[in-house]
Amino acid sequence: MPNEKVIKIKPAFEDGRGKISNIIEDSSISHVAIITSKKGSIRANHYHPEQIQYEFLISGRYESSSKDLKKEGAKIEKIVVEPGDLVITPPMIAHAMRFTEDSVMLNITTGSRDPEKFKEHTIKYELIK
């Protein structure tokens, strides 16, 4: 089973006015942010001990690298994320993103992202340079 799960989000409803796409049905969501990234930038290089992280790519493209920290000798896995993809990263999966295009995404998590407690919910772990 891969470290990160990618779901191709398809519209649930469409008519002449446009489309409705349901991204996540999870009552434990506590945080939603919109993140813009420039081509060539790197984000993440960390893991979350307890939180599930959802990344919904609105526009652009990036390569996601991940490693399961619960498995000794685990290898780094890579996937290409495209607009409309939802990437689900469970706890204890180190992850990093290298943006191959200017991008806009939603970052959604099951726990607080209080900046005062950053070191409690987000632990640095360098996967890519």
Structural domain count, the chain:
1
Task: Look at residue 72 and tell me if it is in a domain.
Answer: yes
Q: Is the pLDDT of residue 20 over 80?
A: yes
Q: Which two tokens stand for residue 49?
A: 């001990």
Task: Look at residue 46 and tell me if it is in a domain.
Answer: yes
**CA of 127: how far to CAs of 23, 43, 52, 108, in Å?**
27, 10, 19, 21
Identify the weakest region by mean pLDDT among 19-28, 63-72, 74-83, 85-94: 19-28
Using DSSP's 3-state secondary structure scheme, residue 11 falls into: coil
Where is pLDDT greater, at 2 or 42?
42
Residues 6+ apart with CB under 8 A from 77: 2, 3, 4, 65, 66, 67
pLDDT of residue 27: 75
Task: Look at residue 129 and tell me if it is in a domain.
Answer: no
- 117-121 LR contacts (CB < 8 Å, sep 24+): 121/48, 121/49, 121/50, 121/51
Looking up residue 62, the CATH number of its domain turns out to be: 2.60.120.10
Q: What is the pTM of this model?
A: 0.89
124, containing H or E segment: strand 123-124
Per the CB < 8 A criterion, the answer to whether 64 and 87 are in contact is yes
Task: Look at residue 68 and tell me if it is in a domain.
Answer: yes
Provide the residue range defining the domain that includes 114: 5-124
